[in-house]
Amino acid sequence: MTRIPRTSRRGLLATGVVCALTLGASALLPATNAMAATGCAVTYTTNSWDGGFTASVSIKNLGDAVNGWTLGFSFGQSSQRVVQGWSATFEQSGAAVTARSLSYNGALATGATTNIGFNGSFSGSNPAPTSFTLNGVTCTGSTTGPTTPPTTPPPPTAQTPAAINGKLRVCGANLCNQYGKPIQLRGMSSHGIQWFPRCYQDPALDALATDWNSDLFRIAMYVQEDGYETDPAGFTARVNDLVEKATARGMYAMIDFHTLTPGDPTFNLERAKTFFRAVSARHANKDNVIYEITNEPNGVSWSTIKNYAEQVIPVIRANDPDAVIVVGTRAWSSLGVSEGGNATEVINNPVNASNVMYAFHFYAASHRDNYRAELERAAARLPMFVTEFGTVDYTGDGAADLASSTVWLDLLDRLKISYANWTFSDKAEGSAALRPGTCNGSSFTGTSVLTESGAFMRNRIRTPDNFPTS
């Protein structure tokens, strides 16, 4: 839940060693193997969409231990460019690219592997590099052919959001489905699952999936405020159960590590590692799970949030290598606006990881044109996800400002920014979608059980989705 003061308002390789090369196409295609030799092995894997691609590069040291490395390669097409890299420093001159190790991954023992990657752009074709060098030594071997685009999945037979869109990924500044097409997910957030468990019983979630036609259910697991820290095993089990319920109903499930007070996410770093290690292991084989690793950082710098993210993300990636992960932004996930900042700090210093999006939160009666303008500016460069917003003021209460809410949702629709509304609960406050006492009963369909905010949001969410498949 947002509580924001809106007036102020997240060594070298031994000479003569040679290398083996393995080149892969998409994660959907088998890797192409080359003749092996002592030295190193490289795996290059891409996922492409119209005009862009993400490349993952795995470097394995098969020779003597090294302390500092430079990987070199050349693109096979002049239009291919590195746009944004992670886990290495990238430079490009013409088609030639060099990637230099960072302080934490430069030391590679014999048999050790490190992974780097980048987002790129291209026009025409997108062939894979045909050779690599490591510290100036050519990696031997050849490929059987260039990288090809991912195989297009067959048309879906089921019609739930998760069945149609399948496994999601970040493509450029968009959230894309299994067909590589930008999509928007529209859905609801729970309130604290410690306070409103009856609001997430089977009939309620049936209504959310089939009466609201919701694409997304955000599971808000508070860490403090009688939450996870009081019973880690119990709350992990509750979250797992709700993920299974959302999955059974064809919705995407967002696991929200709901930090708010204290605002420094590093306060909960070890808890986050423990929690995300458990839930990512449980749900790694699912295509519908999104991880939101910190809710509303506040009173801390972007560098602190980024450092936290770059420690938590590898924990998830160890189990679930390619799930979408959402990182909170500064000043209650306002891209810094609520503390006098803006998105430039994130644009210039993004998280070093792939398939990452950035959170933005707003409350329509309190946040207006300057917040909208900053989100639109950021969305041209960054993949944004509105993981929480309300139709009311920043306290979560007050009258629903439907005029401002409409302007906000029209903007999100136009930019294809996914969102979750606060909240699918019957708390006696303006942001709640359900009338007080509703969750004590068994009827959740129709408009009679809804507040003004709930009726408005149901009407917006249940209109047909635009989920392109070709």
Give me the residue spans of the domains in the chain.
20-138, 161-461
94-97: long-range contacts, CB 8 A cutoff, minimum separation 24: 96/72, 97/72, 97/73, 97/129
3-class secondary-structure state, position 227: coil
List the one residue out of 51, 168, 69, 165 whose CA is nearest residue 119. Answer: 51
Structurally, at CATH architecture level, domain 20-138 sits in Sandwich (2.60)
Residue partners of 348: CB distance under 8 A and separation at least 6: none
CATH superfamily of 161-461: Glycosidases (3.20.20.80)
pTM of the predicted structure, to 2 decimals: 0.73
Q: What gap in Å lies between CA 313 and CA 327, rounded to an integer?
A: 9
Q: Are 118 and 144 in contact (CB under 8 A)?
A: no
The catalytic position among 292, 345, 374, 388 is: 388
Clarify whether 388 is annotated catalytic: yes
Domains 20-138 and 161-461 share a fold: no
pLDDT at residue 35, as a whole number: 28
List the one residue out of 428, 412, 427, 415 whose CA is nearest residue 461. Answer: 412
Q: Are 466 and 163 in contact (CB under 8 A)?
A: no
Clarify whether 296 is annotated catalytic: yes
Q: What gap in Å lies between CA 166 and CA 307, rounded to an integer?
A: 30
pLDDT at residue 316, as a whole number: 96
The catalytic position among 292, 296, 345, 374 is: 296
Low-confidence ranges of the chain (pLDDT < 70): 1-39, 63, 139-158
DSSP letters of 84-148? Answer: EEESSEEEEETTEEEEE--TTT-EE-TT-EEEEEEEEE-SS--PPPS-EEETTEEBP---SS---
